[in-house]
């Protein structure tokens, strides 16, 4: 029923060249490029960091993103992009700059993690479940002061073991509609966080982002994000 994988760096690097192939949704004309487009969204996962304004290839794409916010997807031309992250208001230069290559049809998430003193980008591609009846799950370690983590089902198996900071696990299929999760330091029985009743709908894949601090505030938490993402209200 479960398998494990915690090869973070390969997943993060793979984002640069291997976004998944899905039909892009409708989007404003200024993000079109002869139909060759990708979808990109941003997660603010850097505690104690001001709200963020984010430019992609010099275009203001995400504005005033606060900690734990996950933006909607925005269509952008496929190909090489430069992401510049500014503190809200852009009084100074970018606090983080990173380049990626977006593949046509890809749905991609870029998480800005670390702390205000040292921001770290983590790129990943988002994939649907294998079929309309299945459910998939993966985990992303974005807690700056946490040790390597075990993502565990309460009173059940370890889904992902020894996941280091900045790691994106691969997706695994699960049967349960609801999962009670625990985060533990790798190889330890001590529970760092209990997260009851994570709901997994048929046909969706969910990403569980581990955010915050083990020691300090804001405290360790999990943010669950389904894919396909729910459409925003019109």
Residue ranges of the domains in the chain? 8-227
What are the Cα distances from residue 30, in Å, to 33, 60, 75? 8, 12, 9
pTM for the model stands at 0.83
CA-CA distance, 65 to 225, in Å (whole number)? 16
* pLDDT, position 175: 87
Average pLDDT score, the chain: 84
Phi, psi dihedrals of residue 15, rounded to the nearest 5°: -55, -30
Q: Stretch 99-123: mean pLDDT, rounded?
A: 95
pLDDT class for 89, splitting at 50, 70, 90? confident
Q: In terms of pLDDT, which residue wins out, 201 or 233?
A: 201
The total of other beta-carbon atoms located within 10 Å of residue 161's CB is 18
pLDDT score of 139: 97
Tokens encoding 223: 């943010």
Query: Which run of H or E residues covers position 110?
Result: strand 107-115
Cα–Cα distance, 79 to 195 (Å, whole number): 38
Residues 6+ apart with CB under 8 A from 23: 105
Ranking 120-124, 140-144, 225-229 by mean pLDDT, the lowest is: 225-229
How is residue 70 written in tokens? Answer: 């996950």
* Contact partners, residue 83, CB within 8 Å, separation at least 6: 54, 55, 56, 96, 97, 98, 99, 100, 110, 121
- pLDDT tens for each residue of 11-46: 343 343 333 222 233 333 333 444 589 999 999 999
């Amino acid at each position: 029923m479960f398998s494990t994988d915690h090869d973070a760096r390969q997943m993060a690097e793979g984002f640069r060249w291997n976004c998944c192939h899905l039909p892009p949704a409708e989007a404003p004309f200024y993000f079109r490029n002869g139909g060759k487009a990708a979808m990109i969204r941003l997660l603010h996962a850097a505690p104690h960091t001001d709200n963020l304004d984010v430019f992609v290839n010099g275009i203001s794409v995400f504005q005033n993103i606060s900690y734990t916010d996950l933006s909607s997807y925005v269509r952008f031309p496929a190909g090489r992009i430069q992401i510049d992250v500014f503190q809200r208001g852009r009084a100074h230069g970018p606090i983080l700059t990173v380049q990626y290559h977006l593949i046509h049809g890809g749905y991609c998430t870029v998480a800005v993690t670390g702390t205000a003193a040292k921001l770290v980008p983590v790129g990943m591609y988002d994939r649907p479940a294998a079929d309309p009846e299945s459910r998939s799950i993966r985990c992303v370690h974005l807690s700056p002061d946490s040790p390597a983590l075990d993502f565990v089902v309460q009173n059940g198996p370890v889904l992902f073991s020894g996941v280091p900071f900045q790691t994106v696990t691969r997706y695994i299929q699960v049967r349960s509609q609801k999962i009670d999760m625990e985060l533990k330091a790798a190889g330890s029985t001590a529970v760092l966080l209990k997260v009851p009743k994570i709901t997994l709908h048929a046909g969706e894949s969910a990403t569980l982002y581990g955010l915050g601090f083990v020691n300090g505030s804001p405290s360790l938490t999990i943010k669950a994000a389904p894919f396909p993402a729910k459409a925003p209200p019109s």
